[in-house]
């Protein structure tokens, strides 16, 4: 996307990508030099939307709202892009008076959300992981742990170091066909160069500061922080063959295609923008990326343990909590992907708890249980899955879906009532 201004109106259009720093500079001039507190973002003519511009733009807009600047949005004329703009929560975060939050409508990506406190950050990371394991088939357990660590550390840096008056903005995009996950984290704080300089007064060059920020053990205060947040996330991204990008102060860092470049920018970033693109298919991503002081970092307890384990070692899967509905095949697909991922490819035992579920559709039963049955076979199905609090009607529907699938593939029958 590129843009031009007409008075207090920003008009975005197709073309070579505009750097969001240029948008930030133009916005500064309109607000502070022209004393204009009414701004219009016009996306009506665009045919695509670039999160690398929109997400930091949201952060800047949230920051200016504290200065009583009011924003209006003209959404894309293209229907799909308009829905994306709403479902990604971009319209709500820029103009919350007009647009309601829509993050529950986005099933394949984590819609942009704002967090200001430790509890909100903790919840935001959990929501990211929930989105990932429900939408991307075949994410192995170690990859989930690597993503959890990267998300936690990058988002936590905002609260510990940025001193951002709006907290942080987080968004996660998933690209299953390319085995990629993109993490965007933005804040409107002091920036990395200034933050590091508080502990290292001689570190005045912004380019050098960004180079230092991704090194192991670099932090402004080693008595309270280990300095492994950006280092671990950077390693996770670069070793997996993904991209990593930071805008902060008057510097831009980017690693892509195996090459790291850090350059000076003519326009300072209003805070910090981080983009981490991670290829989650790398077999030994966890072991290779998280090595601190030549010691491999251990993850004794992760998101899946926290959410799905009870007193026993078996995974406890509460159906009414995990399914958006029980009426459609699409809802069933999300549940099946979730089951595959939290059992690490059907390697761990799982107990289905149907408390509160009184009926399911035939298509839901087929999409979840019959497809899994055919994939792993009767003996494996009976060995790793158990059922509790299941009503007879629901049991009959599941058995019927399995029978129909088996009939078409000439497999033996199975009755889950004794499983």
CB atoms within 10 A of CB 220: 18
Q: Give the pair of three-digit tokens for residue 207.
A: 């380019």
The CA R_g of the chain, rounded to the nearest whole Å, is 24
Kindly list the structural domains of the chain, giving each domain's residue range(s) and its CATH number in brackets, ordered by start.
1-101 (3.30.750.24), 107-302 (3.30.565.10), 309-418 (no CATH)
CA–CA distance, 88 with 107 (Å, rounded to integer): 10
Residue pair 125/208 in contact by the 8 Å Cβ criterion = no
Per-residue pLDDT of the chain in tens (419 residues, 90 and over written 9): 889 999 999 999 998 766 799 999 999 999 999 999 999 999 999 999 989 999 999 999 999 999 999 999 999 999 999 999 999 999 999 999 999 998 665 666 689 999 999 999 999 999 999 989 988 888 888 888 888 888 998 999 899 889 999 999 999 988 888 999 999 999 999 999 999 998 889 889 999 999 999 988 776 555 445 556 688 889 889 989 999 999 999 999 999 999 999 999 999 999 999 999 999 888 777 777 777 667 666 666 789 988 998 766 789 999 999 998 999 999 999 999 999 999 999 999 999 999 999 999 999 999 999 999 999 999 999 999 999 999 999 999 999 999 999 887 765 555 665 54
- Interhelix angle 329-342/118-135, rounded to 10 degrees, is 110
CA–CA distance, 134 with 302 (Å, rounded to integer): 16
End-to-end alpha carbon distance in the chain:
56
Residue pair 278/236 in contact by the 8 Å Cβ criterion = yes
Q: Give the pair of three-digit tokens for residue 333.
A: 């697909």
CA–CA distance, 312 with 317 (Å, rounded to integer): 13
């Amino acid at each position: 996307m590129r843009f031009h201004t007409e008075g207090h109106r920003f008009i975005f259009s197709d073309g070579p990508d505009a750097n969001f720093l240029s948008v930030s500079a133009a916005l500064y001039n309109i607000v502070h030099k022209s004393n204009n507190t009414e701004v219009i973002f016009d996306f009506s003519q665009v045919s695509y939307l670039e999160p690398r511009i929109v997400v930091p733009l949201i952060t800047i807009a949230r920051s200016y709202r504290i200065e009583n600047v009011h924003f209006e949005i003209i959404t894309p004329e293209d229907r799909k892009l308009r829905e994306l703009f709403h479902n990604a929560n971009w319209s709500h975060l820029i103009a919350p008076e007009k647009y309601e939050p829509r993050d529950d409508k986005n099933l394949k990506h984590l819609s942009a959300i704002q967090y200001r406190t430790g509890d909100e950050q903790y919840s935001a990371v959990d929501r990211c992981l929930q989105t990932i394991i429900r939408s991307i088939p075949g994410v192995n357990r170690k990859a989930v742990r690597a993503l959890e660590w990267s998300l936690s550390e990058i988002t936590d840096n905002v609260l510990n170091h940025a001193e951002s008056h709006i907290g942080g903005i987080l968004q996660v995009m998933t690209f299953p066909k390319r085995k990629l996950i993109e993490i965007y984290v933005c804040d409107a704080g002091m920036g990395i160069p200034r933050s590091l300089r508080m502990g290292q007064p001689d570190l005045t060059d912004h380019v050098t500061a960004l180079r230092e920020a991704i090194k192991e053990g670099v932090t402004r205060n080693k008595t309270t922080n280990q300095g492994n947040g950006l280092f671990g996330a950077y390693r996770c991204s670069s070793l997996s063959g993904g991209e990593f990008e930071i805008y902060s102060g008057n510097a831009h860092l980017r690693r892509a295609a195996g090459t790291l470049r850090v350059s000076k920018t003519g326009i300072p970033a209003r805070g910090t923008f981080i983009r981490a693109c991670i290829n989650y298919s790398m077999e030994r991503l966890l072991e290779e990326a998280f090595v601190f002081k030549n010691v491999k970092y251990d993850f004794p307890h992760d998101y899946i343990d926290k959410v799905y384990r009870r007193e026993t070692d078996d995974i406890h899967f509460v159906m009414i909590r995990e399914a958006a509905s029980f009426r459609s095949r699409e809802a069933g697909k999300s549940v099946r992907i979730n089951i595959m991922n939290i059992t690490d490819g059907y390697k761990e035992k799982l107990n289905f708890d149907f408390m509160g579920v009184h009926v399911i559709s035939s298509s839901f039963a087929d999409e979840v249980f019959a497809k899994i049955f055919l994939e792993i076979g009767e003996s494996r199905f009976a060995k790793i899955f158990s059922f509790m609090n299941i009503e007879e009607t629901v049991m009959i529907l599941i058995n019927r879906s399995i029978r129909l699938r088996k009939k078409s593939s000439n497999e033996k029958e199975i009755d889950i009532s004794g499983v």
